[in-house]
């Protein structure tokens, strides 16, 4: 007789009976296994936190064991915050001592601009024929191809977006009086590196093919066409020869022969003597005078591009007074030093000096051992030590997961012993406690800054052997921690052992649960047979009762 569920035939709740019997066998033991797994996992988590604290502490020990920690130099500059005039970077080759530094002149790039009256609109066409503009400042240069019909605005954009541009910025400035000035600024600094702009015509034959002579500069005369002479507004005046000084080089704004800046009236005299370039007038050439079919001469067609050049008789760009590229000049202990940039890397051994602003008084610089970095490194060591000690104590307290763990006990004892022991070959200091470090009753460290400063003054050179020497504290701690860190360290080995215990317990639990499944299947099989027999007996009993009732 088939039944839909256990007990349906007999009318007895055999399903509940089976579940109770399985539960009585299974639940208590499964809980034991699960509690054991949970304990292992809690231990593994605690070991992970301890391991991280040990790794972090070892990093601070490594920083303390750096040989260069006690050889670093610090530069103290007598300047007001926010009004810095120099910046100094040191290395461990710098000599301790004081320096007197003046910034006489800052390095700068150059700026060129067009002469007044050449342009009036950004839409002015600057060339009637394809040409090439070359920009050069010192050893840097780049060129752009300028097609016929290019306007000032288009040229400005072409210069600024050129992929080869080494640092030239072009701009258009309107003075509000109908004059538009084209300016170009170069970032290349240093005397003799003033920006120069030259142009070359791209010559073509009658069929429009480029003639392979592109590097030939544009001639100042127009072939076969008479050009009216252009009157020069002002003749160039050659300044009289003056006494020169070897320090008065191109790029200076300082008259070292006269021990000071160039007086304003002299600057005005020099400025008045500078010849202002003018744009060549090519309007005198009438294209209608040319025979039909003749092409416009190359020089005439591209001559107006001279208005954007600094080179040649017809150059329209010039360098205003004071806008030339110049060197940086500093004076260190009375010795004057020049450099093309504001950063002097080789002026003083072990120092990199960056000039930030011109000075009117001497700036004092003191170079000494970098005690600040040493102090900060020791403070980081103390903080990391306190973290690991606190973690070890919390993990091994009564009721804690790692309470009674031998590895934790051994590490706590070893750390305390290392700190209390003598280290290094110093006669002045024997332990870190001589440097102003003290320990409270919880095993936590603290640094007394006053005592530390006094220890520094007593013997800075004696601190290195104590901490980072061959037998120093840092090296001893590093050797100790090597036993606990890394893939073969005790911390990792202990965690691996716990993982194996977890895997083993989980395997045992899984096998037991499989047995419980088979036990339940066995019970169901037996009770199903019982349920079937009871159902048959109930049916037969009912039949007999009905027969007896009819008799």
pLDDT tens by residue, 264-285:
444 444 444 444 443 333 333 3
CA torsion sign for 75, 76, 79, 80 is: positive
Q: How far is CA 243 from the centre of its chain?
A: 50
Name residue, tokens 């092409």.
Answer: 295
The 8-class DSSP code of residue 158 comes to H
pLDDT digits (tens, 9 = 90+) for 323-364: 999 999 999 999 999 999 999 998 999 999 999 999 999 999
Mean of the per-residue pLDDT values of the chain? 80
Residues 6+ apart with CB under 8 A from 413: none
Q: Tell me, yes or no, whether 253 lies in a domain.
A: no
pLDDT of 11: 63
pLDDT of 245: 44
Q: Tell me, yes or no, whether 59 lies in a domain.
A: yes
192 & 299 share domain: yes
Q: For 403-546, where are the E strands, in sequence order?
A: 437-439, 445-447
pLDDT of 195: 96
Listing from the earlier edge strand, what are the strands of the sheet with 168-174? Answer: 168-174, 180-186, 110-114, 317-318
Specify whether the CB–CB gap between 453 and 385 falls below 8 A.
no
Tokens of 260: 């000071």
pLDDT digits (tens, 9 = 90+) for 215-246: 444 444 333 333 334 343 444 444 444 444 44
Specify whether the CB–CB gap between 64 and 378 falls below 8 A.
yes
392 & 410 share domain: yes
Give start and end residues of each alpha helix (H) in 110-211: 152-160
Domain count of the fold of the chain: 3
Q: Tell me, yes or no, whether 528 lies in a domain.
A: no
pLDDT of 456: 86
> What span, in angstroms and rounded, lies between the C-alpha atoms of 195 and 189?
10
Specify whether the CB–CB gap between 408 and 402 falls below 8 A.
yes
351 & 446 share domain: no
Cα within 13 Å of Cα(420), Cβ side: 8
Q: Tell me, yes or no, whether 544 lies in a domain.
A: no
Q: Which of 472, 493, 514 is the endpoint of a domain?
A: 493
156 & 282 share domain: yes
Judged against a pLDDT cut of 70, whether residue 287 lies above it is answered with no
pLDDT digits (tens, 9 = 90+) for 28-74: 888 898 988 988 888 888 888 888 989 999 999 999 888 788 888 88
State mean pLDDT over 514-522: 87
Q: Which of 459, 477, 493 is the endpoint of a domain?
A: 493
Judged against a pLDDT cut of 60, whether residue 494 lies above it is answered with yes
280 & 134 share domain: yes
337 & 403 share domain: no
Q: Tell me, yes or no, whether 2 lies in a domain.
A: no
The 8-class DSSP code of residue 253 comes to -
| Angle in degrees, 0-180, between the axes of helices 473-482 and 14-64, rounded to the nearest 10 | 150
386 & 297 share domain: no
Structural domain containing residue 132: 110-236+274-326
pLDDT of 145: 94
Backbone angles phi, psi at 172, to 5 degrees: -120, 130
471 & 382 share domain: yes
The 8-class DSSP code of residue 368 comes to E
214 & 159 share domain: yes
Tokens of 202: 């791209």
116 & 205 share domain: yes
Tokens of 148: 């016929």
Q: Tell me, yes or no, whether 25 lies in a domain.
A: no
pLDDT of 85: 96
Q: Which of 347, 368, 389 is the endpoint of a domain?
A: 368
> What span, in angstroms and rounded, lies between the C-alpha atoms of 251 and 236?
21
How many angstroms separate the most distant Cα atoms in the chain? 161
287 & 196 share domain: yes
Q: Tell me, yes or no, whether 79 lies in a domain.
A: yes
Tokens of 220: 């100042």
Q: Tell me, yes or no, whether 315 lies in a domain.
A: yes
pLDDT of 354: 97
Name residue, tokens 């070892």.
Answer: 58
CA torsion sign for 305, 198, 252, 98 is: positive
357 & 378 share domain: no
């Amino acid at each position: 007789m088939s039944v839909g569920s256990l007990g349906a035939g007999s009318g007895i709740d055999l399903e509940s009976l089976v579940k109770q019997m399985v539960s009585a066998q299974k639940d208590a033991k499964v809980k034991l296994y699960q509690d054991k797994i949970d304990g292992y996992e809690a231990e593994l988590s605690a070991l992970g936190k301890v391991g991280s604290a040990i790794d972090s502490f070892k990093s601070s020990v490594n920083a303390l064991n750096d040989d260069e920690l006690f050889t670093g130099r610090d530069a103290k500059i007598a300047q007001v915050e926010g009004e810095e005039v120099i910046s100094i970077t040191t290395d461990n080759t710098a000599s301790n001592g004081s320096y007197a530094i003046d910034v006489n002149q800052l390095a700068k790039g150059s700026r060129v601009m067009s002469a007044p009256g050449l342009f009036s609109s950004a839409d002015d066409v600057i060339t009637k024929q394809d040409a090439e503009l070359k920009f050069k400042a010192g050893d840097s240069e780049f060129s752009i191809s300028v097609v016929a019909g290019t306007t000032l605005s288009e040229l400005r954009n072409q210069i600024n977006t050129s992929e080869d541009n080494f640092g030239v910025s072009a701009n258009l400035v309107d003075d509000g009086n109908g004059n538009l000035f084209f300016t170009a600024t170069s970032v290349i600094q240093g005397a003799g590196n003033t920006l120069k702009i030259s142009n070359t015509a791209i010559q073509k034959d009658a069929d429009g093919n480029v003639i392979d002579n592109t590097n030939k500069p544009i001639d100042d005369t127009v072939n076969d066409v008479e050009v009216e002479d252009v009157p020069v507004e002002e003749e160039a005046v050659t300044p009289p020869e003056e006494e020169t000084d070897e320090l008065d080089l191109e790029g200076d704004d300082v008259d070292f022969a006269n021990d000071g800046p160039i007086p304003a009236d002299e600057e005005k005299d020099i400025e008045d003597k500078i010849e202002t370039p003018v744009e060549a007038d090519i309007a005198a050439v009438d294209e209608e005078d040319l025979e039909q079919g003749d092409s416009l001469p190359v020089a005439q067609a591209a001559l107006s591009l001279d208005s954007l050049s600094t080179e040649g008789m017809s150059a329209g760009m010039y360098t205003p007074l004071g806008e030339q590229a110049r060197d940086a000049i500093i004076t260190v202990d009375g010795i004057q030093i020049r450099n093309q940039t504001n950063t002097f890397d080789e002026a003083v051994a072990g120092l990199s000096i960056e000039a930030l602003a011109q000075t009117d008084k001497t700036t004092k610089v003191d170079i000494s051992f970098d005690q600040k970095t040493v102090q900060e490194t020791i403070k980081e060591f103390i903080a990391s030590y306190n973290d690991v000690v606190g973690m070890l104590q919390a993990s091994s307290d009564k009721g804690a997961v790692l309470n009674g763990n031998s590895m934790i006990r051994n590490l706590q004892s070893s750390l305390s012993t290392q700190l209390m022991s003598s280290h290094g070959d110093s006669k002045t200091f024997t332990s870190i406690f001589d440097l102003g470090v003290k320990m409270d009753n919880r095993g936590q460290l603290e640094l007394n800054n006053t005592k530390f400063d006094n220890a520094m003054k007593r013997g800075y050179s004696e601190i290195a052997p104590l901490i980072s020497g061959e037998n120093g504290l840092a090296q001893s701690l590093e050797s100790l921690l090597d036993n606990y860190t890394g893939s073969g360290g005790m911390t990792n080995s202990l965690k691996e052992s716990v993982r194996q215990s977890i895997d083993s317990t989980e395997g045992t639990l899984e096998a037991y649960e499989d047995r419980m499944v088979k036990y339940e299947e066995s019970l169901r099989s037996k009770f199903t047979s019982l349920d079937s027999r009871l159902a048959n007996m109930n049916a037969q009993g009912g039949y007999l009762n009905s027969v007896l009732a009819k008799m």
